[in-house]
Amino acid sequence: MRVRPGKGSRPRTRRRPAHEDAVAAFVVAVDRGRYTCLVGGEVAEVPGGADGRKGKKRGDQPRPVMAMRARELGRKGIVVGDRVSLVGDTSGQPDTLARIVRLEPRTSMLRRSADDTDEVERPIVANADQLVIVTALADPPPRPRMIDRMLVAAFDADIEPLLCLTKADLAPPDDLVARYDPLGVPYIVVRKGGELDEVRSRLNDRLSVLVGHSGVGKSTLVNALVPDAGRAVSHVNAVTGRGRHTSSSAVALELPGGGWIIDTPGVRSFGLGHVSVDNVLAAFPSLAEGAVHCPKGCSHRGEECSLDAWVAQGNADPMSLASLRRLLASRDGEPDDD
């Protein structure tokens, strides 16, 4: 007589985890709900990148794949610089579309708000480890208050700042360099037709995001660093002294010598409504130590602040306190200088 196996004798099969075959990808552009991702090659070795997933094969050439966001991600926003996992058609062939099913943990997030009263964070770029603040020394003239605001955003995101001073053939950098020397912010100086070796060395093997208002030469710099980038170059209005927006969205570009830069649209404002006073103070360790003596909720700008006494006792540099208060004034929305 043939005996049928009992219920408990059936072989057990391993359930495959959801999206087991997901492919690692790096988001390089975002346009109206479509995400251009790079898959293959050394994509998993992008600074801050994840590895150990299908798709990393040394020697392969990375390929662009168009993708959409899967419903299961809910309202999670995806921005340039994000590391994600894709399923579906990841061949990169024309008229194909993959799905982003997983967003990897971020190492950093550069944000801004619409204005200084808006506490809603608007993500700009993910996973950058260096914020390159591009400003012209002339034509248009520097806007130190805008630089201050971008520095606050860098300190808030825990991203290392770097000043890139362009058009040094039109004006000397000395005054602007002296202004930021107490903050210890590194800087590089660029002039028309000059060598870019120092710039390249600062960007090498890093994921850097470039920010600056229109007309400062950011797109010109990007085109020099990445010859096939093809970023449109703006011209400064002779009447207003402002540049015209030429880049409409952020895009990640691979540097020939290693590393990535993320070019962002020119900005005319940088809202800091989401930034806390404590996050700005954290960028000044010598002052943060003395702030424990301040009253609760201290703005560090009024007479009740204990930092003046802390500095008077020789515990911190007076220039550092002046710089802190200047940045806090920027955070609080005092008018930008044009």
pLDDT (tens digit per residue) in 183-210: 889 999 999 889 999 999 999 999 999 9
**Residue 38 pairs with which residues in a beta bridge?**
26, 64
What value does the mean pLDDT take over residues 209-221?
Answer: 90
CA–CA gap between residue 323 and residue 7 (Å, rounded) = 74
Q: Which residues pair with 326 in a beta bridge?
A: none
Terminal C-alpha separation, the chain: 96
The band of 238, judged by pLDDT with boundaries at 50, 70 and 90, is very low
Distance CA 185, CA 320 (A): 12
In a 10 Å sphere around its CB, with 0-12 CB exposed, 13-18 middle and 19+ buried, how is residue 242 labelled? Answer: middle
The dihedrals phi and psi of 134, each to the nearest 5 degrees, come to: -90, 125
Cα dihedral sign for 97, 98, 103, 106?
negative
Tell me the per-residue pLDDT of 19-30, one tens digit each, with 9 for 90 and over. Answer: 668 899 999 999
Q: How many residues does the chain have?
A: 338
**Tens-digit pLDDT profile for residues 145-170:** 888 888 988 988 889 999 999 999 99
Q: How many CA atoms lie within 13 A of 200 on its CB side?
A: 13
The reported pLDDT for the residue numbered 171 is 96
DSSP H helices in the chain? 144-157, 174-180, 197-203, 218-225, 277-281, 285-290, 307-312, 318-331
Are 199 and 225 in contact by the 8 Å Cβ rule? The answer is yes
Averaged pLDDT score across all residues of the chain: 82
- Of the candidates 285, 326, 338, the one whose C-alpha atom is nearest the C-alpha of residue 152 is 326
Neighbours of 332 (CB within 10 A): 12
What is the reported pLDDT for 213? 84
pLDDT surpasses 70 at 35 = yes
Residue 109 region by backbone torsions, left for phi larger than 0, else alpha for psi between -120 and 50, else beta: beta
The dihedrals phi and psi of 129, each to the nearest 5 degrees, come to -115, 0
Q: What is the pTM of this model?
A: 0.80
